Structure 1
Amino acid sequence: MKLDGRIAIITGGGSGIGHEACKLFAAEGATVIVADRNAEAAKAVADEITAGGGKAFPHAVDVANEAQIEAMVAAVVAGHGRIDILVNNAGYGIAGTVVSTSEADWDALMAVNVKGVYLGCKHVIPVMERNGGGAIVSTASAAANIGIHDRAAYVASKGAVAALTRAMAIDHVDAGIRINAVAPGTIESPYFTRILSGPDGAELRRGLEERQAMERLGKPVEIAQAMLWLASDDASFCTGTVMVVDGGWTARGDRKLKKKA
């Protein structure tokens, strides 16, 4: 029980990596706040955990909205007395170069992927300081290390998450707060499921698999396991780290897909 008795907020907890992280953290003894913009998805995950004997509570929140983040943090503190772990996992991707990406799409993506991390940490860190410490894990991306075509806004946002992780780790190390990130490769997520359901899905999948050295897509639980390690005391000497979990994609380098994915 690596997280026994700890209170954990996991954003984007209603699906994909966040869903698996919620289940895994609860299985390791944490009380999990399943935070997601989709209230029904958050409740479904929380219900799944409680049905299995774990402790979980849903909370609908838009991570780009400071008032909602502030209210969520206040509610968690009021209900549980503390916050020990924050996983900033909410995020999404869009296709486009800097030329083809609209300003509105750029701003919307940055609001969730980058501002969401900033706001979560802004309001949770003071709580952790009062508690005597804590652990924060954010979701970056292996794509930020090498760049990929036709994903300018997404790559920029995840590069910002990695840089912000390192900056915050230095700022708050004396408060006993460890701040790290996971940089996944291409994962079997609802986002890619939608993309791969089209007529060119099989070809796109082959291309995505081939750019990983292991020649397969990652599983959400494999990223959740990395998050668990970083959030637990097993990673007690780890802060400011961006852990790459990408099936060898970074080592191999990007292969331009024949069709955009």
Structure 2
Amino acid sequence: MKEGAIVTIVDLNEETGKAMEQELQQISPKSMFFQANLMEREDLPKIIGTVVAKYGKLDVLVNNAHASKQATIEDTTQADLDLSFNTGFYPTFYLMQAAWKRKGI
């Protein structure tokens, strides 16, 4: 960031996101927080759209969100799998797809 990166943090938790935004803005004043639930698939393109509208482009997309419940294979439920895929795999794919469609990356 000291080299000029502008970062957008996406988080469900507003308190955590705003705290991170304040910390980032000390290094890169244009950085911002975007509150979103990554499990709301229809909202994912809005994240990309907001970044591209504000900054004109998106150079790098880092997908590192993922929630899961640790359980043995015998105890893993459909709800456990849904949580994992709906916060990790699917948002990663749909954010990349939205960025590609916007020619953001």
Class of the TM-score when normalised by the shorter of the 2 chains: 0.7 to 0.9
Gaps of 5+ in 2: none
CA distance in 2, matches of 1:64, 1:118: 12
State how 1:71-86 maps to structure 2 within 5 Å: 71-86=46-61
Aligned mate of 1:64, from 16, 28, 39: 39
Quote the residue 2:79 is aligned against: 104
Aligned mate of 1:119, from 90, 94, 101: 94
Q: Secondary structure at the match of 1:88?
A: coil
Ranges of 4+ aligned residues in structure 1 off by more than 6 Å: none
- TM-score, normalized by length of structure 1? 0.38
Q: How big is the shift at 1:98?
A: 2.4
Q: Is the 8 A contact 1:29 1:54 kept in 2?
A: no
State how 1:150-229 maps to structure 2 within 5 Å: none
Q: How big is the shift at 1:99?
A: 1.6
Relative contact order (alpha carbons < 8 A, sep ≥ 6): 1 or 2 greater? 2
CA distance in 2, matches of 1:115, 1:53: 30
Gaps of 5+ in 1: 1-25, 135-261
Q: Is the 8 A contact 1:92 1:113 kept in 2?
A: yes
Write the deviation string for residues 35-62 of structure 1: whole angstroms up to 9, x where unpaired.
1111221111111121345431000112
Q: Is the 8 A contact 1:31 1:56 kept in 2?
A: yes
Which structure carries more strand by proportion? 1
User: Is 1:27–2:9 an aligned residue pair?
Assistant: no
Greater Cα radius of gyration, structure 1 or 2:
1
Matched letter for residue 46 of structure 2: A
Length, aligned pairs only: 105
Matched letter for residue 108 of structure 1: L
- TM-score, normalized by length of structure 2? 0.86
CA distance in 2, matches of 1:93, 1:27: 33
Taking only the aligned residue pairs, the percentage that are identical comes to 25
